[in-house]
Amino acid sequence: MKTLKLSLLSLIALTFLGFKADETPLEKLLKQLAKITATYPQEKVHIHLDKPYYTVGEDIWLKAYLVTAEKNEPSLLSTVLYVDLIDNKNSIKKKITLSVDKGIASGNISLLDSLSSGMYRIRAYTNYMRNYNQDLFFEKFIAIGSVADNKIAKKVEDKKVEFGIQFFPEGGNLIGGIRSKVGFKAVTADGLGANLSGYIVNKNKEKVAEFTAEHAGMGIFAILPQSNEQYTAIVTLADNSIKSFKLPAVLESGHALAVNSTAENLSIRISSTADLVQGKDVFVVAQVNGIVYASFTSKVDKAILTANIAKKVFPTGIVQVSLFDANSKPIAERLVFVNHNDQLKIDVTNTTEAVTKKKANLALN
């Protein structure tokens, strides 16, 4: 009997080990991603302000919602929320702490008379969120004015515009010989989008692309970068001032990830340089808030690989499409917004005749 029991246990163990041995590299990668999401959950902060702009001496009244990134449910990870008021020189002018109860916090920031007028940032985060990149912090720009604004308006108008611009190659990198889209974002010193246009030149000063900001200082252009080239953006602002900015360096070897959103699908294209077309596996993983909704494996046996993922498999939100090499190392990433227009639709109807300073009855449908 003991021999039989040992034989059964051995068979179960061998069977279990057999399943482990048959686990594909993609399955191992997905397990690792799921473990990271479960072990290191992330928080998000959303803040409502009572007004879009303020005057020195007033109070900023706010309400904060602290949720888990995975399910957008009230977070129980933190009980304290930190809120900073930051000026356009990146100096913290006021800091408050708010108690969080079941994911909700509220309070106010008093705007001291010593504050100067201008654009400020409201930044909110928890101590737990500081374990991750500050890009996950909540940020919102607000305007703060003063009664002296009319006296200095002319000086402000005459002040030269200071701005910065960032370039974001699709997938993360410019790769020699692979046509890529490049997004850009231009922001002035007061945090507002800059209205600008410009063009791209190579190291021989030859024009290779043109661009124009379409909304809030943001836009996109296409370029076919070449290895051993350095590209520069020549930018012209609305006041005709001109500045130059370097684009990211061009890689000689690599994989480029491109994602286009069509009516029904996310169309994915993986482009590879000739030295990487060796038949090795790459993995594509598409997730929303840390939950994987689609994944597949492809062999790099040609320079361009294409695939489609139905948009209906994703919920409304930002889809993170990541490309991993055969060693499960992330090598490219693309964010794309999927909108099913399934947001709450609420109709508000006044069921009684409107009367000044008297109670009104509203119906919500």
Mark 232-262 as b/e (b = at least 16 C-beta within 10 Å): bbbbebeeeeeeebebeebbeebbbbbbeee
Give the number of other CB atoms < 10 A from CB of residue 325.
16
Are 124 and 83 in contact, with CB atoms under 8 Å apart?
A: yes
Which tokens hold the place of 275?
A: 């030295």
pLDDT, one tens digit per residue, over 197-210 is 999 999 999 999 99
pLDDT at 302: 95
**Which among 347, 135, 125, 169 has a CA at the least distance from the CA of 258?**
169
CATH number assigned to the domain with residue range 255-338, chosen from the 4 options 2.60.40.1930, 3.50.4.10, 1.10.10.410, 3.10.270.10: 2.60.40.1930
Please state which CATH class domain 43-158 belongs to.
Answer: mainly beta
pLDDT, one tens digit per residue, over 31-42 is 999 998 888 889
d(CA 265, CA 260): 8
Q: How many residues does the chain have?
A: 365
Q: In sequence order, which residues have a C-beta less than 8 Å from that of residue 14 and are 6 or more positions away?
A: none
Are 235 and 221 in contact, with CB atoms under 8 Å apart?
A: no
pLDDT, one tens digit per residue, over 276-303 is 999 999 999 999 988 999 999 999 999 9
pLDDT at 152: 41
Residues of the chain with confidence (pLDDT) below 70: 1-21, 147-161
Helix (H) or strand (E) holding 198: strand 196-201
pLDDT at 311: 96
d(CA 129, CA 39): 14
The answer to whether the 163-251 and 255-338 domains have the same CATH topology is yes
215 burial level (CB within 10 Å; 0-12, 13-18, 19+): exposed
pLDDT at 7: 41
pTM beyond 0.85, yes or no: no
Where are the domains positioned within the chain? 43-158, 163-251, 255-338
- Residue 90's region, left for phi above 0, alpha for psi from -120 to 50, else beta, is left
CATH code of the region 163-251: 2.60.40.10
pLDDT at 211: 95
Alpha helices in the chain (DSSP H): 2-21, 25-39, 149-158
Are 89 and 82 in contact, with CB atoms under 8 Å apart?
A: no
Are 334 and 258 in contact, with CB atoms under 8 Å apart?
A: yes
pLDDT at 154: 46
d(CA 157, CA 134): 33
